[in-house]
Amino acid sequence: MPQDKMGILFVDDDPKLLEGLRRMLRGKREVWEMAFVVSGREALAVLAGSHIDIIVADYKMPGMNGFELLEKVKDEYPHIRRILLTGQSDEEVFARSGEIVHRYLSKPCEPGVLIETLEHIST
Amino acid sequence: MNGIDAMKSKRILIVEDEIPTAMYLRGILEGRGYSVAGAVATGEEALARFKAEQIDLVLMDIILEGEMDGIETSRRIKKLRDVPIIYLTASTDERNLSRAMETEPHGYLIKPIDEYELYSTVETTLIRDSLEKKIRESEEKYRTLVGNLNDVLLTVDTAGTITYISPVIERMSGYMVDEISGRNFTDFIHPDDLHALLESFTSTLKGDLAPSEFRMLDRDGTVRHMRSSSRPIVEKGEVVGLSTLMTDITDRKMLEAEKDRFLADLAERTKELGCLYNISKIFENRELPLNAILKEMTKAIPEAWQYPDMVQARIVYDGREYRPRNFSQKAHAITADIVVRGEKAGYVQVSYREKRTTQSEEPFLAEEQKLLDVIVERLGTIIEHKQADEELRIARREIESLLAAITSILIQVSTKDQVIRWNRIAEITFGIPASAVLNRKFSQCSIKWEWDNIYEGIFYCIAEDKPVRLDEIVYVRPDGKKRFLGITVNPIKDVDDTLMGFLLFGTDITERKNMESQLLQAQKLESIGQLAAGIAHEINTPTQYVNDNVHFLQGAFADYQRLHERCDLLVAAVREEGTTVEMAKQIESIKGEIDFPFINEEIPKAIEQSIDGLGRISRIVQSMKQFSHPGTDNKVDEDINKALENTVAISRNEWKYVADVETDYDPDIPRVPCFPGELNQVFLNILVNAAQAIEEKNRGSDEKGVIRISTSQVESSVEIRISDTGKGVPPDIQSKVFDPFFTTKAVGKGTGQGLAISHAVIVEKHGGTISLESEMGKGTIFTIRLPLEG
């Protein structure tokens, strides 16, 4: 994987959501190296084998939830920028996200906002 | 002869046209041990009875129905036989009174007749009559049988020497004629009577004819009463002696003495009875407190003693002394202990005010001690009654104040449909004062409520002999507003277990009902609030990808346009036979730029997934709409399978991360009459609980549980089973999960009333059942049955 491209990992339990993101972000394929996985476990496997700069995770997922995943990422790969993308408006999530998450994005998120967030966070 | 007891066998006839009075009299007399021959209403009947049987006393009402009044009837009765008559009348009419007197009545009782007065008049009359009859009978007997035979004829000379005596004297006195003849008559006369007889003898010789009575002595010294009538014997103008006819009147004298004794006895007894009567009057006055009774008794007791003015009574009871003002302590006294509930509680003492001058050491008679004992024994009983009365009064007061404190409607009705109790709350609630309904028919009191349901409740209460609960009885308040009552009908039993009536115990439950529906609403909002985030997520996710896809399609279409422009140019060039190869190269280049194979493959998928996402969004919105079905007042026929599908759809976010939902809906079940909004609420509560139970069991692992939902028809019900593979409900709380305000939720985690409300909705609103089976660590099955007929 060429070092000049930014590595972004998307984690969501809904494959359709991931496909939508992949299509929408197709235009960035020259500058971003993107990976899409459906669970926290798969995400950890990708992190172990690839260069990832940014992780975008859904909150509510079976097994390990997004928050737990990002906590692990913070511990094991502290340099990775962590974004929580969620449809939840759970106060508990808000309250704890500050220490773990760099940015909080709520679903549905406009493509422009997502792209801008990803571009900004990487610099 | 024991007068009082002998009188009990006498037969009394009551002539009285007022049935209640007749029954009252009969009751008293029989209660006192008399034998009542009968009670008749007319003079004719009285005469008939009198002819037919032995009657010893007649109680005669003066004013009677029919031809004869009481006085006329009495006259005719008297003609048949001399029987004592006591008149009863409410009238004090002078004319009647004098007419009545002509029939020589033995008594005259004015109505209303006092029990004791009746008793004493009857008793006195019977005793007196019996004595008089006895005397009369003896006299007659004497006259008819013995009279002539016992007449003794004798002659004496002027000196009193007996010159002749008829032989009858031998049988009478034991003297032989020879022993008497030639002796002076004074030898045979009782010394006490001698003086009077000699005077009579002298005056008779002088021609003054007066009969004498005297006592003579038989040969054996026995006293014989004689009556004599004498006339002078005149010979040649000169009185030479007396001719005397003597009659033995001993029997008669003795009877008279007996009569005097009886009358004296009767007077004594009357005094005693008078005293007992006064005491019983004191006892009968239920209003009188005990200390007043004791005080009155010190006044009443001396009446029975031989010299009431000289006798004083004092009572010591419960540490207090009761005595007349001028009491003076004397040595001679008789006492009797007051015994209350088997224990000595005091005593009554009777003594003379002054030292008596009689020789006797003990001035009291044994009878007087006995009388005192009787009075004091009765006093003990009265005190026991008073105490019991007092206890009863206190108990009653306590009950009354308890009842007064009750904030519910309390109506007591007898088995004869009579209202016995109607408390203040009933007055206020129905706007009907107690005075308007007490002792009237309950079924005719003008409460505006669902009488059919009330009657049905009373019927079951009586038929099944147990309290019946009537919920939500609609009634109309005095202000015209319709409200709800919760009523319990309780049977009331006597000590011997016979039904005495029933008690209606009611509360206005309108406020509670409102609160219940508010709680239901609150819980509904709570679960919807809880769902809102999940539903948002459910909508947000497809919105996210639909949006992403559309953005992609927008870009992809721009690419296509570019490609299409090149294609157009190529087509034009081919037509003009230009440099087609160059054109084709340009198209190839654009295809590469736009990654044509990618968009060619992705566009159909993007479109398909967008359609799918939009479908999901609209389905959720639809389910949400149907789930929050607006409340209906009446049941509607609902497709339960559809209702379950909706509930599963809107709660998807609650279970999809922890469980899969497997459904087995029987497509043939009929529609169920129900309140859909409330029923959906129940399904949601159970579904969310199932998801939570699985989540708690599988926390920290990737394992997913299963929620199974099935429907089927069981007899005339539709059965819904919702099972989970969660942690299970501990056995000790299984019976409590449906109880109101029982919750295992932490404070702040919602009302925790989901299952209580589910129970209320299924059981009370739908007449169905809800139950659970659970095994720790394996899961829980909720079974709901809804009846098909409303």
SS3 B497: coil
The DSSP output letter for B128 is: H
Any B CB within 8 A of A14 CB: yes
H and E: helices and strands count for chain B: 23, 26
In a 13 Å sphere around the CA of B460, the CA atoms on its Cβ side amount to 11
ipTM score assigned to the predicted complex: 0.72
DSSP H or E segment with residue B18: none
Of B323, B308, B506, which Cα lies nearest the Cα of B406? B506
Residues of B in contact with A41 (CB under 8 A): 702
Residues of chain B whose C-beta is under 8 A from some C-beta in A?
533, 536-549, 551-552, 555, 595, 598, 602, 605-606, 609, 612-613, 653, 656-658, 701-702, 704
Contact A16 B702 (CB under 8 A): no
Per-residue pLDDT at B656: 87
> Among B546, B551, B702, whose Cβ lies nearest the Cβ of A63?
B702
Q: What is the pTM of this model?
A: 0.41
Which residues partner with B12 through β-bridges? B36, B57
Total CB pairs under 8 A between chain A and B: 87
SS (H, E, C) B547-611: HHHHHHHHHHHHHHHHHHHHHHHHHHHHHHCCCHHHHHHHHHHHHHHCCHHHHHHHHHHHHHHHH
Nearest to B641 by CA among B626, B620, B659: B626
Considering only CB atoms, which chain B residues are within 8 Å of A61?
657
Give the CA-trace dihedral at B429, B435, B441, B445, to 10 degrees. Answer: -30
Q: How confident is the model at residue A97, as a pLDDT? A: 64
Give the separation between CA B656 and CA B687, rounded to whole angstroms: 11
User: CA nearest B612 in A: which residue?
Assistant: A16
**Is residue B722 classed exposed, middle or buried when 0-12, 13-18 and 19+ CB atoms within 10 A define those classes?**
buried
Residues 72-101 of A with CB under 8 A from B: 86-90
The SS3 assignment for B79 reads helix
In this predicted structure, what is the pLDDT of residue B233? 83
**Closest chain A residue by Cα to residue B653:** A60
Q: How many residues does chain B have?
A: 790
How far CA B319 is from CA of B316, B322, B345, B370, in Å, comes to 7, 10, 9, 25
Helical residues (DSSP H) of B53-151, grouped into ranges: 70-80, 94-102, 115-141
pLDDT, tens only, B99-127: 777 788 887 887 777 787 888 888 888 88
CA distance B630 to chain A (A): 27
Question: Taking all residues of chain B, what is their mean pLDDT, rounded to a whole number?
Answer: 83
Task: Tell me if residue B274 falls in helix, strand or coil.
Answer: helix
User: Which residues between 30 and 49 in chain A have a beta carbon less than 8 angstroms from any beta carbon of chain B?
Assistant: 41
Q: Point out the residue among B540, B602, B612 whose CB comes nearest to the CB of A108.
A: B540
Residues of B in contact with A14 (CB under 8 A): 541, 545
What is the predicted pLDDT for the residue at B618? 81
Q: What's the DSSP call for residue B302?
A: G
pLDDT along chain B (790 residues), means of 10: 58 86 84 86 89 89 83 88 84 68 80 79 82 72 52 86 85 86 89 89 82 88 86 83 84 80 74 77 79 85 79 87 80 84 88 64 73 84 82 82 83 88 89 90 87 88 86 86 89 83 87 74 70 75 88 86 82 72 80 84 88 84 71 82 90 87 94 89 90 87 90 94 93 79 57 77 89 92 88
Q: Give the residue-averaged pLDDT of A15-22.
A: 92
- pLDDT value for A94: 61
- The Cα–Cα gap between B121 and B134 comes to 20
Chain A residues within 8 A of B538 when measuring between CB atoms: 87
Q: In Å, how far is A62's CA from the nearest CA of chain B?
A: 5
B346 three-state secondary structure: strand
The most confident of the ranges A74-83, A106-115, B459-468, B699-708 is A74-83
Residue B403 Cα to chain centre, angstroms: 14
pLDDT digits (tens, 9 = 90+) for B519-562: 776 776 677 776 776 777 778 888 888 988 888 888 888 888 88
The whole-number pLDDT of residue B257 equals: 81
A63 touches chain B (CB under 8 A): yes
Beta-carbon separation of B544 and A107 below 8 A: yes
CB contact (8 A) between residue B609 and residue A20: yes
**How many Å apart are CA B41 and CA B18, to the nearest integer?**
7
Residues of chain A with C-beta less than 8 angstroms from the C-beta of B701: 63
Nearest Cα residue in chain A from B705: A62
